[in-house]
Amino acid sequence: MFDTPADAQTQLAQDFSRPQVEMVVEALMPALAFRPRPNGGAGLGGTRIGGTPDLPPGLAWPRRAKPADIEAIAARGNAEAGEEMRRHLRKELPYAFFAQVDLGEARERTRGQGTLADALPGHGRLLFFYDLSAGPWDNGSESARVIWDESPREGLAAQALPPDLAAAAEEHRAEIARVNREFKLPLPKPDSGTPYGGPARPMSLHVILRPPAIESLEMEARPALKSALGLHSNGENRFRDSYQALFSRAFDRYYGAANPGRRHQLLGSPLPEQSDPRFEAEVVSRFGVQYLSQDAWKANRPAIEAGAGAWRLLLQIDVGDFLQESGEGTVYFLIRAADLADRRFDRVVAVYQQT
């Protein structure tokens, strides 16, 4: 959102009183945002969203194994979505490739700007994969794979889309085109994404500062700001209204008017579409269910809240921007702080949210 505290003060002063500006600036937190590289990529191993990963010999593109509970997953959608999930999960396709992050770049970008990237490995790449066909109904560790590849850049090779994943993508495009022709809708763009992958876009990482989202755990750590926003009041609160509008305006300013509201982010505090996704990560990990009943949530609330505080955001991806086509929702890749310290990326949990 903002490049520096001074930048934040200048922008915030247009809408907030001086005490309000001071509260918001005090609450600013760093994160790493993605910006398109105007002159192409950074070569093999460079940061990108979509496309295909760069892999060394012996490291295979991960596939999702057939779940033991296909029917339970399918039952979470309506009849049509459920049947699509059954067909998809039985194919044991490779995961869609979401992003590749150059860890050396992340460390360099944050040098001298605090400890934001210190918890990450300082070399290699993080590769993020996700099952966008069934994952939105299946929060947990099986819908995603995150791989830390430590191999030297010299040994990397650009990958082609696995043939069965490419075939599934083409089948999806053909079906969308058929439906759009039937209803006289515009045909999808030839280079737009599908649930099986998004177009390749080389990116660079940049440190930004932003205040905590109203729904985030970090807001709970700011009682003065929370009180001033009147979060538990249904009455009029101009500060709260301006604070919420701040996110829309700041995203427009940061990403450009042609690409508003995009939510890609590495590290930092998540930008929820609903509640803080760390609650969902804790629930699915602790109880093995997608959601708790209202009574079960109330009974276990202290433990859930305490457990949610142990989770860290690795990456969040805006699905519509990932596809470069119509699409909704945000995917959050989350990991417990202890697992991050132990480099247990196999324990990452993916959470999908949609308003």
Q: What distance in Å separates the CA atoms of residue 212 and residue 79, rounded to the nearest whole number?
A: 38
Q: Which amino acid is at 339?
A: D
Domain coordinates in residue numbering, the chain: 29-210+262-353
* Segment among 99-108, 226-235, 325-334 with least mean pLDDT: 226-235
**CA quadruple 343, 345, 347, 350: dihedral, nearest 10:** 140
What letters, b where the CB count within 10 A reaches 16 and e where it falls short, cover 118-132?
eebbeebbbbbbbbb
Q: What distance in Å separates the CA atoms of residue 287 and residue 282, rounded to the nearest whole number?
A: 8
Neighbours of 206 (CB within 10 A): 13
Question: Residues 330, 263: contact at Cβ < 8 Å?
Answer: yes
Which class does domain 29-210+262-353 fall in? mainly beta
Q: Which of 33-42, 118-127, 221-230 has the highest mean pLDDT?
A: 118-127
Average pLDDT over residues 164-187: 92
Full DSSP string of 205-242: EEEEEEPPPTTSHHHHT-HHHHHHHTTT--S--HHHHH
Among left, alpha and beta (phi > 0; psi -120 to 50; other), residue 305 is: alpha
Neighbours of 37 (CB within 10 A): 15
Over the stretch 39-53, which tens digit does the pLDDT of each residue have?
A: 777 789 999 999 999
Residue 178 has pLDDT above 70, yes or no: yes
Residue 244 has pLDDT above 50, yes or no: yes
pLDDT for position 254: 52
What letters, b where the CB count within 10 A reaches 16 and e where it falls short, cover 290-301?
bebeeeeeeebe
Over the stretch 62-107, which tens digit does the pLDDT of each residue have?
A: 999 999 999 999 999 999 999 999 999 999 999 999 999 999 999 9
pLDDT for position 255: 52
Residue 339 has pLDDT above 50, yes or no: yes
First vs last C-alpha separation in the chain = 21
